[in-house]
Amino acid sequence: MRYAIYFSPTADDPLTRAAATWLGRDAFTGELNHRTAEHDLTVEELDELTADPRRYGFHATLKAPFHLADGESEADLLAALAAFAEETAPFDIPSVVVEQIGPFFALVPQTPHQPLQQFAASVVDSFEPFRAPLSETDIRRRKPDSLPPQQRENLMRWGYPYVFDEFRFHMTLTGPVPEAQAPGMARLLGDRFADFVGRPLRIDGLALFVEPERGAPFLVHSRLPLRAAQPNG
């Protein structure tokens, strides 16, 4: 069993519903969603291009998947998650857009947002005691020799390369898209997520995802709302 602490909107949020339809699976229920061909892409092509994010479920990574450290339990983790949520205020990302990051597409902040960076860093640090060290196999999967020095250091210290100054909030919508298909994918995703682009995204909860066994689809175990009053509230 691996755990991950992600951001996800609520199960019934319109963005969650739109993403589940697009990816072909709902991480809250595990249900697969029927899809149809779109633009110049067949059902089979769409399934292939969304396979990676479909397995993980629609989310933004805060604390990457981890095994529990020795002496820690799921109940301990849930208690810490509840305490963190009670002490943390919700906030808005002012605007999000669909953007290509390397070979894949994701929903990302339109501009850097410091409260988001601070929130993500706090999650990484606060839940580090629950994370077991990476195995040698997991380290090799990340190809540390190919990473820049800071990302390699993050991997060894925090179990994930993209934390703190290397963190970039993104809610993945595709796996790698071939260069020839990227312009069409950009148009397709622009149409599919037009209701959410250029608008605020409320960060109002933390979701605990679980991977029952290695390689299995991730599922939402629990989602806890952020409850603390705003600083000026």
Question: For the chain, first and last CA: distance in Å?
Answer: 40
The Cα 9–Cα 16 span in angstroms is 6
Q: What is the CATH number of the domain that holds 180?
A: 3.90.1140.10
Instruction: Identify which of 8, 36, 13 has the alpha carbon closest to the alpha carbon of residue 172.
Output: 8
* 93 close to 116: Cβ distance less than 8 angstroms: yes
Q: Is residue 114 part of a domain?
A: yes
**Per-residue confidence (pLDDT) for residue 86, from 0 to 100:** 97
Give the integer Cα–Cα distance in Å for 125 and 150. 17
The answer to whether residue 233 is domain-embedded is no
Buried/exposed code over 128-158 (b: 16+ C-beta within 10 A; e: otherwise): eebbeebeeebeeebeeeebeeebbebbeeb
In a domain, 232, yes or no: no
Q: Which two tokens stand for residue 52?
A: 């990676």
For the chain, the domain total comes to 1
User: Is residue 231 included in any domain, yes or no?
Assistant: no
* Structure confidence at residue 57 (pLDDT): 97
pLDDT of residue 233: 47
Per DSSP, the three-state class of 200 is coil
Per-residue pLDDT of the chain (233 residues; tens, 9 = 90+): 999 999 999 999 999 999 999 999 999 999 998 888 887 889 999 999 999 999 999 999 999 999 999 999 999 999 999 999 999 999 999 999 999 999 999 999 999 999 999 999 999 999 999 999 999 999 999 999 999 999 999 999 999 999 999 999 999 999 999 999 999 999 999 999 999 999 999 999 999 999 999 999 999 999 999 998 766 54
Per the domain annotation, does 139 fall within a domain? yes
Closest CA to 26 of 57, 63, 53: 57
Asked if residue 97 belongs to a domain, the reply is yes
Q: What is the pLDDT of residue 231?
A: 62
What pLDDT, on the 0 to 100 scale, is given for residue 232? 57
**Domain assignment of residue 230, yes or no:** no
* Domain containing residue 133: 2-225
